[in-house]
Amino acid sequence: MMSTVTQDPPANALARITLRNGFYGALLVVLALVPLAAQLAGAGNWTSFATQILIFAIAAVSLNLILGYGGMISFGHAAFMAIGGYSVGIASVYGLNNGFAHLAMAIGFSALFALVTGAIALRTRGVYFIMITLAFAQMVFFAFVSLEEFGGDDGLTVNSRSEFAGLIDLEREPTLYYTVFVVLLATLYLTHRIVNSRFGWVIRGARSNEARMLTLGHPVYRYRLTCYVIGGIMCGVAGFLFANYANFVNPEDAAWTTSGELIFMVVLGGMGSLFGPVLGAIVFFMMEETVGSIPIVGIYWKIFFGPFLVLVVLFAREGIDGWLVPRAVKASDAALADAIAPLARRLAAMLIDVALFALSAWLLIAVLGGWLMTLPRQPYHQDLVMIACVYVFLAGILVNHLVLPASKWRGSAGKIAMGLAVVGGDGRTLAPAQAVQRVFGQVLTIATALIGYVWMVADREHRALHDRLAATRVVVRGRLK
Amino acid sequence: MKQPVLQIKDLQKSFGGVHATDNLTLDVTPNEIHAVIGPNGAGKTTMIAQLSGALMPDDGQIVFAGRDITRLPAYRRSHLGLARSFQITSVFLDFSCLENVSLAVLAHQGHAFRFWRAVRGDRTLSDPAMASLERVGLADRADIRAANLAHGEQRQLEIAMALATEPSFLLLDEPMAGMGQSESARMIETLNTLKRDKTMLLVEHDMDAVFALADRISVLVYGQVIATGAPDDIRNNDAVRKAYLGDEAGDA
């Protein structure tokens, strides 16, 4: 039977799972396997790195409840991290290592702080709310800086991790990781229940139109305050976990830069989406880790993160989560079915592209950058030269993956070499916006531990995540009618 | 004459030097449609805002159903049976029609400090919400996002939301604003069917609608009521003619 439907027909139960849910499901499976993979690969620091990501994911999810669902732009969310953290730190100074007590204090103090500061801050709107939440967080920051007996601005070492009466041994890295993972799952589930409950609807309605909610008879203030307290408690728990992870607490945990990073994660992942902040946290730390590991320029990784965030805000207002809604495929795909590129040829094209990257990265950064820096007299700042080299490299990637596919060559250098082409659903050359979407999709495919390529193998038309997102197909040039 | 259900006494509100509401006194009796007309800037929306609690008056008194509500917060007034529709369409654009009205039902059912059970599929919310949509003829649009509705439908949705709080009194701020003729006719029909059990204070520019619906009309000029009476009396009132003609002459 000829197919003229606009979407892929749901061939089986698996196909009916939406791209978004499938992706998040796969992500959770990968996260669940991290310690195992780390052990197999003999890379113990993977678990530690992933623990840090997930703790910040919990904090970002909690901020999303306030910011994304509640529309309250808090610029002081990190205060709760510090309050949760110091609940562990200060208690252990006094020899109190009981985890239940730590947790109770983290929750109690976070709730109290949220209740008092929220009650004041929520009387303001807009920029005033942003500034007053920032001010309260800075107050916490300076309070911990001034507490000399608890380390002052040097921070405080936590000598032993919270003890849970022998039930959970947080000193073991995998146990700590799975504890954090379970807390994250619980936070996500709780958030899911809350935002779909009556309470959640009032919160979301108030974000959409506060005046209308008041006129309908909803006392918006007390709902917002409750929401603020719930979000604060969740983040306080993240702070409790972070102190256990780092064995260290620091006033910096409450600093405005930390609050800003949490906002980054939420915006990057997608405000008001359940899993978005988790993705935001993963991509944030992955970028910090990958770009940050480049010699010299690494410490300036935020110079690259900044433009990336600008692009996200410009092209994907709903963050990464928003990209996971695929473009509708308009035309029939029957005409393209015969031309779909075999996996082996795609793999070869990919290898050529990767080889090109490696070569140009080596030439630009190691050879050219290295040579520039050995020059005896330098009228310029060394680091700036390296940053410029990295930007030239990134520009090269964009030409190869954005400009070339949207041009008459219809593909990256590797695909051109292998006689392949990227086409839209109707067999046409990509529109610039579609090419942009595909590049974002590729970032996503790669930044989340290559999960996106799973689709390429499973999909009948060998479409990877980015192909599905941008409604593109990779075909053999010669077989295209 | 019946006891008025809403009494406005010497209401005052100024913004800087502008007296938007200036010694405004007005009575609305049960089950009447009381229209308030007046030239642009006469203070009609300011009056509605003070009645609904969005603005607090500087001075004067508002008595609703025998109770002084002058300083009562907006959300409390809704629970006394006072509902408002907005001049500028004020629905929740990213929610569906049914969800919009469900938010109104939610308000009517008391507090919403329930954190666990999902709203979607909750018949105690969706049934009354659906009933409200049916009353304004939007039942077949229940699952459409409010942002995707035609303008006239959004105005109907406004009314459905106001109705869902089961009010005894409706404050309608230009329900026909921006509507075409057929849409207006439909709205007039909707409001006429509501007349049986609701009292309405109707601010409207569409004179055909006003004369088709109103039992009494008050004319507001510079924040003051210059005349109140039956539609025919108002049509023939000299002061009203002067206010309107003067206004038109000023425009030209």
CA distance A445 to chain B (A): 29
Kindly state whether residue A339 falls inside one of the protein's structural domains.
yes
Which residue segments constitute the domains of chain B, with CATH numbers given? 1-81+167-252 (3.40.50.300), 94-166 (no CATH)
Q: Which of A198, A214, A273, A274 to mutate to test the interface with B (most CBs of B within 10 A)?
A: A198
Determine contact: A123 vs chain B, CB below 8 A.
no
Instruction: Tell me how many degrees the CA angle A130-A230-A136 measures, rounded to the nearest 5.
Output: 35
3-class DSSP state of B29: coil
Which residues from chain B sit within 8 angstroms of residue A197, using beta carbons? Answer: 114-119
Determine contact: B84 vs chain A, CB below 8 A.
yes
3-class DSSP state of B94: coil
Question: Of the candidates A199, A211, A219, which has its C-beta nearest B114's C-beta?
Answer: A199
Does residue A353 sit in the same domain as residue A319?
no
Does residue A76 sit in the same domain as residue A179?
yes
Which residues from chain B sit within 8 angstroms of residue A234, using beta carbons? Answer: none
CATH number at residue A188: 1.10.3470
Q: How many domains does chain A have?
A: 2
The amino acid sitting at B130 is M
Does residue A215 sit in the same domain as residue A164?
yes
Produce one character per residue of B65-82: b if its CB has 16 or more CB atoms within 10 Å, e if not: beeebbebebbebbeebb
Kindly state whether residue A4 falls inside one of the protein's structural domains.
no
Does residue A264 sit in the same domain as residue A357?
no
Q: Which residue of chain B is at minimal alpha-carbon distance from A201?
A: B103
Q: Which of A323, A357, A388 is the last residue of a domain?
A: A323
Does residue A172 sit in the same domain as residue A265?
yes
Which residues from chain B sit within 8 angstroms of residue A272, using beta carbons? Answer: none
* More confident call, B242 vs A359: A359
- Strands B67-68 and B82-85, by their bridges, are unpaired
DSSP code at position B5: S
pLDDT at position B247: 52
Q: Which of A294, A323, A352 is the last residue of a domain?
A: A323
Kindly state whether residue A361 falls inside one of the protein's structural domains.
yes
Determine contact: A302 vs chain B, CB below 8 A.
no
Q: Which of A274, A303, A323 is the last residue of a domain?
A: A323
Kindly state whether residue A436 falls inside one of the protein's structural domains.
yes
* More confident call, A88 vs A480: A88
**For residue range A91-141, what is the model confidence (pLDDT) as tens digits?**
999 999 999 999 999 999 999 999 999 999 999 998 999 999 999 999 999
Question: Of the candidates A193, A215, A220, which has its C-beta nearest B115's C-beta?
Answer: A193
Kindly state whether residue A401 falls inside one of the protein's structural domains.
yes
Give A10's pLDDT tier (boundaries 50, 70, 90): very low
Does residue A165 sit in the same domain as residue A204?
yes
- Distance CA(A168)–CA(A184), nearest Å, equals 17
**For residue range A387-427, what is the model confidence (pLDDT) as tens digits?**
777 788 888 888 999 899 999 889 999 999 999 999 887 77
Average pLDDT taken over every residue of chain A: 86
- Distance CA(A448)–CA(A455), nearest Å, equals 13
Does residue A86 sit in the same domain as residue A195?
yes
The verdict on a CB contact (< 8 Å) between B75 and A197 is: no
CA dihedral A401, A404, A408, A414 (to 10 degrees): -70
The verdict on a CB contact (< 8 Å) between B107 and A194 is: no
Which residues from chain B sit within 8 angstroms of residue A198, using beta carbons? Answer: 106, 112-114, 117, 119
Half-sphere exposure of A8 (CA within 13 A, CB side): 20
Of A463, A479, A477, A481, the residue nearest A327 (C-alpha): A463
Which residues from chain A sit within 8 angstroms of residue B165, using beta carbons? Answer: 216-217
Which residues from chain A sit within 8 angstroms of residue B75, using beta carbons? Answer: 214-220
Q: Which residue of chain A is at minimal alpha-carbon distance from B87?
A: A212
The verdict on a CB contact (< 8 Å) between B90 and A213 is: no
DSSP code at position B140: G
Determine contact: A200 vs chain B, CB below 8 A.
yes
Does residue A299 sit in the same domain as residue A345?
no
Question: Of the candidates A200, A208, A223, which has its C-beta nearest B94's C-beta?
Answer: A208
Give A85's pLDDT tier (boundaries 50, 70, 90): very high
Kindly state whether residue A272 falls inside one of the protein's structural domains.
yes
Question: Of the candidates B54, B75, B93, which has its C-beta nearest A218's C-beta?
Answer: B75
Kindly state whether residue A399 falls inside one of the protein's structural domains.
yes
Q: Please, are residues A429 and A404 in contact by the beta-carbon 8 Å criterion?
A: no
Does residue A424 sit in the same domain as residue A312?
no
Of A241, A260, A277, the residue nearest A137 (C-alpha): A260
Residue A291 is part of which domain span?
A: 17-323
pLDDT at position A51: 97
Whole-structure pTM value: 0.83
* More confident call, B114 vs A80: A80
The verdict on a CB contact (< 8 Å) between B92 and A209 is: yes
Which regions of chain B are under pLDDT 70?
Answer: 1, 245-252
Kindly state whether residue A53 falls inside one of the protein's structural domains.
yes
